[in-house]
């Protein structure tokens, strides 16, 4: 009864796991480009492919691994399993890739596209088609960002502007964030391919038909090295990713340099405004300083000066003249202290001695060369 209870519990648990296991919407493409669509549970799928459950978890953003003569690829949202006979695209309904899946991928696998590996085994065409799609998407993102960033920087880096448009800065911030995400994706792409290129065994494992197809095995033994072809294929897309990364890096440097120019322009305009404010402050100070004379004459005190009508014009002239002189003196003082310091004066003695010293050193070097030539000549003789 105990064994019967354990057996019933095991069957119940398996039935429960089967009921909650995820279901994949699978698109299957064969060597001729024919496609079929079906839904299958994860447990049934990895059992048919001879894989483990952990092989179909797709934990990493990008990965290329081999298990039991199967290639498992994950490129961002694209999940694929490659065998020597067919290609499986998992969860194809959620990818929004209908144009590529139905119009381009099938023809590429059938050898009708512009793939370099059309004459090689099926897994070569499948890997190249997927990598080409990924590189084209990254290239498209860069082509979209580059003109937007250049246009925004051209509008911001203008010395005639006294202020910075905040909307342009907001656009530049968003584009910079998108550029950082693109740089991260390119870095992950390059690192994933580089890990395979560094291990010769991994490259050999990617050549599935070499171990299953006798004709391909004979070709590999007769001189056609499929592992070398796979390495060249991966190096090609690694080089393309490196070129895209260099272009993205140049955009990043351009953004940083433009930010420095923007800050310099703003500092320059700020310094102009501060200097103008300082000049007005000095003018107000000088005018108020001599305005004390008018305050003194405006007091309710009697003197003999107010009886003379020329005293008003005399005091007014003295006030404006004194204020102007004080303001000019303050401006000259400000100009002397804001001008950059002059380079240190070089005495004439040093200027004359430098060529002489140079001639002495030249003569010594010529003497040493002549002495060396004479020694070598004597030795040869």
What does 28-46 look like in DSSP terms, one character per residue? EEETT--EEEEEEEHHHHH
The answer to whether residue 381 is domain-embedded is no
The answer to whether residue 3 is domain-embedded is no
Task: Give the residue from 114, 8, 123 showing the smallest Cα distance to 73.
Answer: 123
Residues 166 and 87 in one domain: no
| CATH code: domain of residue 43 | 2.40.128.330
Number of domains in the chain: 2
Residues 226 and 271 in one domain: yes
Q: How many CB atoms lie within 10 A of CB 20?
A: 7
**Residue recorded with tokens 């699978």:** 26
Residues 101 and 177 in one domain: no
The answer to whether residue 379 is domain-embedded is no
The answer to whether residue 316 is domain-embedded is no
Task: Give the residue from 266, 234, 45 showing the smallest Cα distance to 132.
Answer: 234
The answer to whether residue 75 is domain-embedded is yes
Residues 157 and 207 in one domain: yes
Residues 99 and 165 in one domain: no
Residues 177 and 283 in one domain: yes
| CATH code: domain of residue 262 | 1.20.58.340
Between the alpha carbon of residue 80 and those of residues 24, 63, 71, the distances in Å are: 12, 11, 8
Alpha-helical regions (H) of 34-165: 42-49, 98-99, 106-109, 122-156
Residues 238 and 126 in one domain: yes
* Tens-digit pLDDT string for the chain (381 aa): 444 444 444 444 444 444 556 888 888 988 888 888 888 888 888 888 888 888 788 777 788 888 888 999 888 788 889 998 889 988 877 667 777 888 788 888 877 766 777 778 888 888 999 999 999 999 999 999 999 988 888 877 765 655 666 787 788 888 889 999 999 999 999 999 999 998 888 888 888 887 676 666 666 655 567 788 889 999 999 999 999 999 999 999 888 887 777 777 777 777 777 877 877 787 777 777 777 776 767 666 666 666 777 777 777 787 778 777 877 777 777 666 665 555 555 454 434 444 444 444 444 544 444 434 444 443 443
DSSP 110: T
Residues 67 and 212 in one domain: no
Residues 125 and 95 in one domain: no
Residues 43 and 73 in one domain: yes
The answer to whether residue 363 is domain-embedded is no
Residues 228 and 129 in one domain: yes
Q: Which of 67, 96, 113 is the last residue of a domain?
A: 113
Q: Which of 113, 137, 163 is the last residue of a domain?
A: 113
Between the alpha carbon of residue 362 and those of residues 98, 186, 278, 351, the distances in Å are: 76, 55, 56, 17
Residues 70 and 203 in one domain: no
Residue 269 structural domain: 117-296
């Amino acid at each position: 009864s105990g064994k019967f209870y354990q057996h019933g519990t095991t069957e119940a648990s398996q039935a429960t796991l089967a009921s909650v296991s995820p279901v994949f919407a699978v698109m299957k493409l064969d060597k001729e480009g024919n496609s079929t669509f079906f839904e299958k549970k994860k447990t049934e799928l990895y059992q048919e492919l001879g894989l483990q459950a952990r092989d179909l978890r797709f934990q990493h953003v990008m990965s290329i691994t081999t298990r039991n003569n199967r290639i498992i690829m994950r490129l961002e949202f694209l999940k694929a399993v490659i065998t020597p006979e067919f290609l499986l695209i998992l969860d194809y309904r959620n990818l929004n890739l209908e144009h590529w899946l139905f119009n381009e991928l099938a023809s590429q696998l059938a050898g009708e596209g512009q793939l370099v590996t059309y004459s090689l085994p099926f897994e070569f065409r499948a890997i190249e088609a997927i990598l080409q799609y990924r590189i084209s998407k990254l290239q498209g993102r860069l082509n979209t960002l580059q003109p937007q960033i250049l246009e925004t920087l051209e509008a911001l880096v203008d010395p005639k502007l006294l202020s910075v448009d905040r909307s342009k800065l907001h656009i530049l911030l968003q584009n910079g964030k998108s550029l950082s995400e693109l740089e991260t994706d390119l870095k992950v792409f390059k690192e994933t391919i580089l890990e395979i290129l560094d291990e010769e065994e991994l490259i050999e494992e990617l050549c599935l038909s070499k171990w299953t197809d006798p004709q391909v095995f004979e070709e590999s033994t007769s001189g056609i090295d499929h592992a070398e072809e796979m390495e060249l294929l991966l190096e090609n897309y690694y080089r393309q990713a490196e070129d895209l990364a260099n272009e993205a890096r140049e955009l990043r440097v351009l953004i940083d340099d433009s930010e420095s120019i923007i800050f310099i322009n703003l500092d320059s305009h700020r310094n102009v405004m501060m200097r103008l404010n300082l000049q007005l402050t000095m003018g107000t100070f000088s005018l108020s300083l001599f305005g004390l004379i008018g305050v003194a004459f405006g007091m309710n005190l009697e003197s003999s000066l107010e009886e003379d009508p020329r005293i008003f014009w005399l005091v007014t002239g003295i006030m404006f003249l004194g204020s102007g002189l004080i303001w000019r003196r303050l401006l000259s003082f400000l100009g002397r202290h804001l001008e950059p310091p002059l380079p240190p004066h070089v005495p004439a003695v040093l200027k004359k001695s430098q060529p002489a010293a140079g001639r002495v050193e030249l003569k010594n070097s010529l003497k040493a060369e002549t002495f060396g030539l004479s020694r070598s000549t004597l030795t040869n003789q």
